[in-house]
Amino acid sequence: MASIFLPFFSAYLMLLLPLVVAQSSAGDIRVGRSIEATRDAKPWISPSSDFALGFHQMENDKDLFLLAIWYYKIPARTIVWYASGTKPAPRRSKAELTADRGLVLSDPRGQLIWRSEFATGDVAFARMNDTGNFVVYGGGSERLWESFENPTDTLLPTQVIQRGDKLSSRHKESNFSKGKFQFQLSEDGNVLLNTNNIVSEFFYFAYYNSGTGDQANKTNSGYQVRLDEDGSFYVLRGNNQRQSFISGDGVHYEDYYHKVTLNFDGVLTLSSYPKNPISSNGNWDVRTTIPDNICITGFNQFGSGTCGYNSICTLKPNKRPQCKCPRGYSLSDPNDEHGDCRADFMQGCEADPQSYHQGLYDLDELQNTDWPTYDQEVISPCSADACKAYCLQDCLCSVAIFNNGKDCVKKTLPLPYGRQDRQVNPIAFVKVRKAEFAHRNPPDISTVCEKRDRNSLTVLISVLLGSSMFVNFILVGVLCMASSFLYHKRVTRNHSNKNGIQSSLCFFNYKELEDATNGFDTELGRGSFGIVYKGVIKSDSRDPFEVAVKKLDRVVQDTDKEFRTEVSVIAQTHHRNLVKLLGYCDEGRYRMLVYEYMSNGTLASFLFGDPKPSWNQRTQIAVGIARGLCYLHEECSPQIIHCDIKPQNILLNDYHEARISDFGLSKLLGVDQSFTNTAIRGTKGYVAPEWFKTVPVTVKVDVYSFGVLLLEIICCRRNVEMDVSDEERVILTDWTCDCFSEGTVDALVENDAEALTEKMKLERFVMVALWCIQEDVSLRPTMKKVLLMLEEMIMVAPPPLPCPSYMLA
């Protein structure tokens, strides 16, 4: 009987076998399978669907993607591993499992972005495991590469940190390039949290030490850091003893997901998330943080801690740090709340021409606040009042710390490791400039105009009061006429004149500006349509103030139109990175514009002069120009194309902050327009290629010019230099392309030690510039995107190669 059913049973087994094999290989990825970087791309999912590997779309740039592993069942995507954080993948990039190189990430042109590195072996398959570990297998199930052995910022259950292994923080929450914090198990068995120099990877002094190193008996030192599936997090020592990072809290964590993450702010967190969605509040619950208070834990002579220089760290209820600037200070980068703070005023021995006895400064008193390093001088014993006086009288003192009720410590900028906490005893006295001596805003010239009008009327009234009754009777009519005239004159100024200039600008006659400029004797520079002179506007109601008077000395066809356009446009623009127009003259053949005076001249003089400006100054100037252009392109109505962005049209104020000037070449776009066809405008070397083609001209011409200017700012040299020794360096754009393609961008700033210490920032700025000067207009980013890339709000993908050709015309 059995012999009858045997053939049927065998056939049944043959049918069942593929199903059994398919089930056992769930989560396996065959050689040749790939995922394309698009928003709807399907990831590779583990058998239990707990984890997925695929492309994560970047928050701030929808055209860039990150190859990553995340918790698949948790609604808010929680990334636990990622590849190539410094070089996100452009849209349509591909992740493919190959037979010889394992998992390979390449851009749409097939150029390699990242790959799984292993010594030797042929790839058989890969698997996204239920532990969150992605493994590339060879023949015989040999593990060739796995994500657990190449951690980023997160440790998962069953994953092990061996001696020498480390976690590295992100640069920011949404920026996956390497940050300045590291968690590692050192060779001596101690678990350390360090800050480090991102470029050199030099470790600074640890701000946390587990104390698991045993010098007397090294066999008992820590040799592994483990996170178990039940949520236990500990150091395993050589004698198999556990040293736990967290004590039990009576909660059974078998039904939870667990992770340990080194956050971008340097805090290591052990977090849990319930596997049952019903009991979840949608957030990860933090079970412990290391250190317990990062604001007051550890400091050393290098780095700035979790907050930037001159900043103050306070602890939030979730034990994560919050950074803030003292009063009178603001963030160097407004988009980086953990960044450096800079004073909003000038201070120092050279910046203060008046004596300190005249009271230039106030002291802002901050309780429970300290900057514990970088002492300039200690005075002991000392009272609080004496401590304040000592700092006010010292032009080098920026902060005074009154400690233990007797010691006074004077400090100079920059100051790291600022903290404010109940556990901190000292009182900080921060020197801030009084409002009346602070940086003067552009003058409110309307008060000058109104004062002048009132003075005219006062003179007339004085004549009346000093005359006979008969004369007074006659002059009453004149007074009425004069009042009416001055009223209509004021209305005209505040609304529109005969040329259609609508603004609240002050109108000057030729004689007033001739007197203000002392007969136009001090020339500041020559612009597109005339010469700029230095002048001084005097007023009875306020101190005299300096101005720049642009005299339009070329009377050609359409000059009237150009003048009216320029005045109308500039009068409606208000931005800190644009030069402010204060008034104008339109009298007969004389046409002049009155601007606020920029004390530090043009960017050309500053950039190409001697000594060279610092790297930090140059990058701040570049960002300032980008902000100004972004305002002109994105926020003005109508939209403005500058058309002549170059160093000579960038002016610098007292603080070397960039101001865009010269809108004489501006073109306006109506609300229903996106381009304009016009004659070629601009300056040789900065003109976009589309000017020479029969294609529409858009705001992207300014983006091209900015790209050339950005390279000049980076390299501190002109875009064309014929006297260089190396012929390949004559044209800056070509040389930059060569350096970038060869991986030698250091050569662009070879003698600039400050720039070389910020190699990642240098590469980012170079890539942004190369994107800007693409010949294909569609490839150039908008100025808004340029600004976000410069400020590191979005990632920068490598620009297309070969680089664009250079336009000399």
303 torsion bin: left (phi>0), alpha (psi -120 to 50), beta (else): left
**C-alpha closest to that of 49 among 31, 20, 73:** 73
- Residues of 416-442 as b/e, b for ≥16 C-beta within 10 angstroms? bbbbbbeebebbbbbbbbeeeeeeeee
CB 276 within 8 A of CB 380: no
State the Cα–Cα distance between residues 292 and 368, nearest whole angstrom: 18
| 156, amino acid identity | L
State the Cα–Cα distance between residues 9 and 258, nearest whole angstrom: 46
Block residue for tokens 């805003």: 441
What token pair was written down for 580? 């402010």
Could you give the C-alpha distances from 19 to 27, 33, 127, 140, 805, in angstroms and in order?
14, 21, 18, 22, 59
Question: Quick count: other Cβ atoms within 10 Å of Cβ 221?
Answer: 22
Most distant CA atoms of the chain, gap in Å? 147
Strand order in the sheet with 28-30: 28-30, 123-128, 134-138, 143-146
| 521, amino acid identity | D
Q: What is the DSSP string of 515-535?
A: HHTTTTT-EEEE-SSEEEEEE
| 136, amino acid identity | V
40 CB contacts (<8 Å, ≥6 apart)?
none
Q: Is 69 exposed, middle or buried (0-12, 13-18, 19+ CB in 10 A)?
A: buried
643 torsion bin: left (phi>0), alpha (psi -120 to 50), beta (else): left
Q: For 491-508, what is the HEC assignment?
A: HHHHCECCCCCECCCEEC
Torsion of CA 419, 422, 426, 430, to 10 degrees: 50
562 phi and psi angles, rounded to 5 deg:
-60, -40
Pairing of β 233-237 and β 222-227: antiparallel
State the Cα–Cα distance between residues 250 and 695, nearest whole angstrom: 71
Question: Quick count: other Cβ atoms within 10 Å of Cβ 519?
Answer: 9
Could you give the C-alpha distances from 768 to 62, 518, 645, in angstroms and in order?
17, 45, 17
Q: Which one of 50, 265, 333, 644 is the catalytic residue?
A: 644
627 CB contacts (<8 Å, ≥6 apart)?
575, 576, 577, 787
What token pair was written down for 503? 């603004």
Question: Quick count: other Cβ atoms within 10 Å of Cβ 141?
Answer: 10
- For this structure, is 644 an active site residue? yes
What is the SS3 assignment for 143? strand
551 is annotated as contributing to ligand binding: yes
- Residues of 383-405 as b/e, b for ≥16 C-beta within 10 angstroms? eeeebbbbbbebbebbbbbbbee
**C-alpha closest to that of 527 among 604, 599, 451:** 604
Strand-pairing partners, residue 70, are: 52, 79
Question: Quick count: other Cβ atoms within 10 Å of Cβ 458?
Answer: 10
**C-alpha closest to that of 140 among 121, 127, 158, 115:** 121
Q: Which residues are catalytic?
A: 644
Residues annotated in a binding site for ATP: 551
